[in-house]
Every structure is written in C-alpha cells, then in structure tokens.
Amino acid sequence: MKSTTVFSATLLDLPVISQEKGNITAINGGIELPFDISRVYYLYDVPGGASRGGHAHIELQQLIVAASGSFDIILNDGHVKRTFTLNRPDKGLFMPSGLWRELDNFSSGAICLVLASDKYTEGDYIRDLSDFKEWKSN
C-alpha cells in the first residue's frame, strides 16, 4: 500500500507461555497477525557493522522478531523516519507494505526472524530510494 506511513508499523506484544523449563511464543497467522503466514526466513551470522534491507515492498507484509540478540530497524515512508530497536523474542514489529526499511546495529549472534505474507518475488521489491520516494508521491 502506497499510503502507509511509519506510524502504520506497530510493535506487538507476542503471547508468552511461561514455564519453569522455559518459554514458548506461538504466532498464528490471522490471530496474532493481520495476515496469513506464507513464508518464514531468518537472518543470522550478520557481521558486525553490516546493514541489511535497503528496500521497500509493494504488497508484502511482515512481522519481524529478534529471536536472539538485538538489532535496529529504521523505517522511512518518504517523509518521516522511525527507528525501532528489537531485543526480545516476545516483541514483534508488524510492518505493512509500502515502507522503506534498513536493518543495522546487529549484536553478535542476533537472529532476525521474519514472518511474511507472501512467497519471495523480486518484482515486489523497490530497491532504489529515489524510485521509492517517487512511487510514494504519485
């Protein structure tokens, strides 16, 4: 969606089943999330100082969780930038489509778990920031 702003992204409190032997967080598409989950992927072994993202999605919706460690997500809607620090496995950033994102400041051992609404399609990416700003303004 072209019209989304950085304020359309929300930090969700994910449910925790807490037991003496450890915790479980379960995420159900359509219940904790406003979309059905079609794909799961995760970033790991990210070298210190590396930056990921640097693109927007035309249709894809995502939930991003720091399954381990921490990292920052900087969102940009063409006008406003907003930074979220993810550092707990029971918090998830819901990201609607139409937002430019960059991920950086990965801690050692960080795992960035992504639940996505669709399969990978390169045609859903906007990888040039100028193209993104033009797309948002039209």
Residues involved in catalysis: 55
Q: Report the C-alpha gap between 96 and 117 in whole angstroms.
A: 10
- Which residues, 77 to 136, sit near ligand TYD by CB under 6 A? 120
Of 34 and 53, the one with the shorter C-beta distance to ligand TYD is: 53
Please list every residue from 55 through 74 that binds ligand TYD, using CB under 6 A: 55
Beta bridge partners of 104: 72
Cα–Cα distance between 14 and 26 in angstroms, integer?
8
DSSP string, 85-106: EE--TTEEEEE-SS-EEEEE-P
Among 6, 9, 43, 65, binds ligand TYD (CB under 6 A): 43
CA atoms within 13 A on the CB side of 9: 25
* 95 close to 89: Cβ distance less than 8 angstroms: no
Count of residues interacting with ligand TYD (CB under 6 A): 6
Binding residue for ligand TYD (CB under 6 A) from 25, 52, 74, 91?
A: 52
Distance (Å, whole) CA 35 – CA 101: 19
Per CB under 6 A, the segment of 9-17, 50-58, 63-71, 90-98 that binds ligand TYD is 50-58
Query: Measured from the CB of residue 89, what is the shortest distance to ligand TYD in angstroms?
Result: 19
* Residues 70/87, Cβ–Cβ less than 8 Å: yes
Given the rule CB under 6 A, which of 17-25, 49-57, 58-66, 82-90 is the region that contacts ligand TYD?
49-57
Binding residues among 22-41 for ligand TYD as defined by CB under 6 A: 41
Residues lying near ligand TYD in the complex (CB under 6 A) are found at: 41, 43, 52-53, 55, 120
